[in-house]
Amino acid sequence: MVLAAAIAGRTTKIKIGTAVHILPLGNPLRIAEEVATLDHVSGGRFEFGIGRSGLPEAYNGYKIPYTESREIFYESMEIIRKAFTEDTFSYSGKYNSYDEVCLTPKPLQKPHPPMRIAATTSETFTTLGEMGIPIFVGVRGLSLSDVAEQVVLYKKALKQSNQSTGSILLRVPVHVASNTEEAMGNSESSFMKQFRRLGSQLGNNSTASLNTEGNTSKNLSEINWSDIQGEKVAVGDPETVIRQLTKMIDVLSLDGIAAEFNAGEEIAADKVQESLELFCKKVIPALR
């Protein structure tokens, strides 16, 4: 939230979003207050991406059991929506309780900033489809076809629940350069570092079995750079990246891409800037 506020203060047009704010690690009423304030500071440019994290390790330092994260998440989300939309409200839940509280300020956007949730398990896809909530998806430890099956569950739940507000974004590492050889050389070490790091985090956690379907330490440790082009990353010259992303959009019925331009944090700043410029000028127009 602090970083988002800093971006809001230095920009005027670009939308600002979180991907994702981990609701179970904070007080939901305080989170709602910070989001509403940020919505005003940004002039209504904030988008609220939320989740509960696929890493149990994230909870250890807070002494919050990851086994309870799903319950806490949905309770927190209910409280936040009430805070955004009701003048005053009371709430009595398993983890939080409030008596006639009033959120000040209310969000600038009505009824509240757009909300999008990270979906990882098949159960989550169905639940969020029933609720009509936009989602993020990822293909780190899963194949495109595996995630496509989960997307089917989401779209089926949307239809059965008569929801018209569903939307799917894919979070994926992207790097564009003037030629594919250069793009591969710029990004391989950094992007692979992210996959290895996630695999290590899962492997070191005793509750990894509770984690996202397919996102296991074993799966991530076996990833090969050449095999994941156009499957888990989009890397190359503009034409190559257009082709790779078009495939992902078609297979997953995507509404958009949440591109990670420096996954692994090891790509030089000038290369990231060049990648972003090529993406905006040459890739995006071809995908519209």
pTM for the model: 0.88
pLDDT of residue 40: 98
Amino acid at 211: N
Count the residues in the chain: 288
Largest CA distance in the chain: 61
Residues with Cβ < 8 Å from 82, sequence gap 6 or more?
89, 91
Kind and range of the H or E element at 220? helix 217-221
Please check whether residue 136 is in contact with residue 169, taking contact to mean a CB–CB distance below 8 angstroms: yes
> What distance in Å separates the CA atoms of residue 80 and residue 238, rounded to the nearest whole number?
41
According to DSSP, the residues that pair with 175 across neighbouring strands are 235
Amino acid at 203: G
pLDDT in tens, 190-244: 999 999 888 776 665 555 444 444 555 456 667 899 999 999 999 999 999 999 9
Among 237, 256, 191, smallest CA distance to 15 is for: 256
What pLDDT band is residue 58 in, cutting at 50, 70 and 90?
confident
Q: Is 115 helix (H, G, I), strand (E, B) or coil?
A: strand
pLDDT in tens, 13-46: 999 999 999 999 999 999 999 999 999 999 999 9
pLDDT in tens, 174-191: 999 999 999 999 999 999
Domains defined along the chain, listed by start: 1-116 (3.20.20.30), 119-288 (3.20.20.30)
Q: Which two tokens stand for residue 171?
A: 């979070």
